[in-house]
Structure 1
């Protein structure tokens, strides 16, 4: 199923009109209609806003859903690269429609911040596998190194940034999955 069809299906499940969704995501109803008919492509930022408004993770729109398998093989991980942020996400859980999601993220150094979308009802735990990561929760910056872990409510997250000249690799476990 294509992105547009998935957006329309989820919008209809929630009983939202195009105009209702447009008001929630700051896009026009006509542009959303074009997206749903696959005549236009949303930006990653727009897709994040749409996913938040429709209460599904971004991966829901980008990946084909598979059956209820419990195993994700290393060579079969689903991957999403955000070119603007120079970050790559690998989905480690088999289905994004479950209660928890696990993502392996690789962030290159000196590429700025990871673009964030704030979700009201999420919890997340980040485990740094490799490199150094600065994470801002509220107004406090935490400097994490290899082996460090941080646990927080989603709305507290303000900023994620690689430090030093080495790639940062971290594991993100969240509930519900938002990406």
Structure 2
């Protein structure tokens, strides 16, 4: 199932109009319409904003039709990947399930001399861990910038502005994101998975 169709299905299940989801996610109504009609593929940032607004994990949107199993072998070419070419960032998702109560594990790459846009604080706080495999990554969290080198790990939460940028070398890293449990959302929505 295409991501646009999945977004539309979740939006309708939650009784949200395009305008309401637009306001909640800070994604324009016209962009949401194009995504839902499978005319545009959303960037990493937009998928994150929509998933936070819908209060579902990114993998739920990307991997909606995959059944939960006690064992699942994913071939190297079959991992879900989001790319954001303008920022030089790509994320290949390693974890197979999209449940809010499971971590989202991804392998990230950033091209040399590239930077992401500023990621704003999210509507609900996630816990994030990054481990640098190759190169260096400059990670701006609020007013502080951390220079992460090979072998370094970094923990942060999404309650402040974040931005990633690289210097002259390509950076490879693992990322683990934990979403809060449903009970922490103070929401009456029964549609969370």
> What is residue 12 of structure 1 aligned with on the other side?
12
Structure 1 position 152 matched with structure 2 position 161:
no
Is the contact made by 1:85 and 1:115 (CA closer than 8 Å) also made in structure 2? no
Structure 1 position 108 matched with structure 2 position 111:
yes
Kindly report which structure 2 residues correspond to 1:140-179, keeping only aligned pairs within 5 A, or say none: 140-163=144-167, 165-176=168-179
Measure how far apart 1:4 and its partner are: 3.0
> What is residue 96 of structure 1 aligned with on the other side?
98
Cα distance in 2 for partners of 1:90, 1:126 equals 14
Is the contact made by 2:64 and 2:98 (CA closer than 8 Å) also made in structure 1? no
Is the contact made by 2:89 and 2:116 (CA closer than 8 Å) also made in structure 1? no
Q: What is the TM-score when the length of structure 1 is the normalising length?
A: 0.80
- CA deviations over 1:110-168 (Å, ceiling 9, x no partner): 022366353231010111111111112221111111111111111235221112x2211
Cα distance in 2 for partners of 1:35, 1:138 equals 30
Q: How many residues align?
A: 174
User: RMSD of the alignment, in Å?
Assistant: 2.7
Kindly report which structure 2 residues correspond to 1:130-149, keeping only aligned pairs within 5 A, or say none: 130-149=134-153
Measure how far apart 1:72 and its partner are: 4.5
Cα distance change of structure 1 residues 157 and 7 upon mapping to structure 2, 3 Å threshold: same
Is the contact made by 1:72 and 1:92 (CA closer than 8 Å) also made in structure 2? no
Cα distance in 1 for partners of 2:161, 2:34 equals 33
Cα distance change of structure 1 residues 114 and 170 upon mapping to structure 2, 3 Å threshold: farther
Q: What is the TM-score when the length of structure 2 is the normalising length?
A: 0.75
> What is residue 22 of structure 1 aligned with on the other side?
22
SS in 2 for 1:144: strand
Structure 1 position 118 matched with structure 2 position 121:
yes
Cα distance change of structure 1 residues 169 and 5 upon mapping to structure 2, 3 Å threshold: same
Unaligned runs of 5+ in 1: none
Cα distance change of structure 1 residues 11 and 129 upon mapping to structure 2, 3 Å threshold: same
Unaligned runs of 5+ in 2: 181-193
SS in 1 for 2:159: helix
> What is residue 186 of structure 2 aligned with on the other side?
none
